[in-house]
Amino acid sequence: MDLDGNAFTREFNNLIKLKHPNIVRLIGFCSEDEKVIIECDGKPVTATDMHRALCFEYLQNGSLEKHLYEEHQGFDWQQRYTIIKGLCMGLKYLHMELESPIQHLDLKPENILLDNNMLPKIADFGLSRLLGEENTKKTISPLGTLGYCPPEFIKDQIISIEFDIFSLGVIIIKIMCGSTGYSHAYTTRPSKFIRQVKKSYLIEKIFL
């Protein structure tokens, strides 16, 4: 993962202290300076080109996003439950079990990796923030991914402790009903959606 200086420092400082089975593990980092000749005002000058990269553990099954769109290889309900529970535990760790809680701010299937046993690990903390004593902040910087950002952020650029919870809810719905079913679930009444999921679960149980 190539990052500029500020993003590299932020990512490294956030990740080095994270120790949880549902958070991607930082293995190490690389930092290298290269002397290059560039032209400035018509004259050659020596400059330093900095190369930095973070190295993470390898997760054999790739991102959750890939699996959500490969519906012919869809999850069974035990796998779905395991993934949802793992995401909730990882997010609980970030929000409630650290001395300085971390808000991820870009939680989406692309940033959730699966290991060889299909256990989820939250990854990519490049946008994360420490809210500290405050429960909300306002930003003018672009954050998150459209479709996973809560209404208060889209309308007023407010970052709250509920930002990641909204994103998690979107992911859970996609895990439960698949990528093609999400657009229908979005407009379905909660009670009807629950009945549909329960029906799907029971049908799978009958045929197992």
Domain boundaries, the chain: 59-207
Give the contacts of 153 (CB within 8 A, at least 6 positions apart). Answer: 143, 144, 159, 163
61/80 Cα distance (integer angstroms): 15
**What pLDDT was estimated at residue 182?**
60
For 59-207, the fitting CATH number among 3.90.79.10, 1.10.510.10, 2.60.40.10, 1.10.10.10 is 1.10.510.10
From residue 129, alpha-carbon distances to 115, 133, 137 in Å are: 26, 12, 10
For residue 12, give the H/E element and its range: helix 5-15
Specify burial of residue 58 (Cβ count, 10 A radius: 0-12, 13-18, 19+). exposed
**What pLDDT was estimated at residue 9?**
75
**What pLDDT was estimated at residue 109?**
93
pLDDT tens track, the chain, 208 positions: 445 567 677 767 777 889 999 999 988 888 777 888 888 888 888 877 777 777 889 999 999 998 887 654 568 888 999 999 999 999 999 999 998 888 898 999 999 999 999 999 999 876 666 554 455 555 545 566 878 888 888 787 777 778 999 999 999 988 887 655 565 666 677 777 777 777 766 666 555 5
**What pLDDT was estimated at residue 188?**
73
| Residue owning tokens 């993470």 | 56
Point out the residues that are catalytic.
Answer: 106
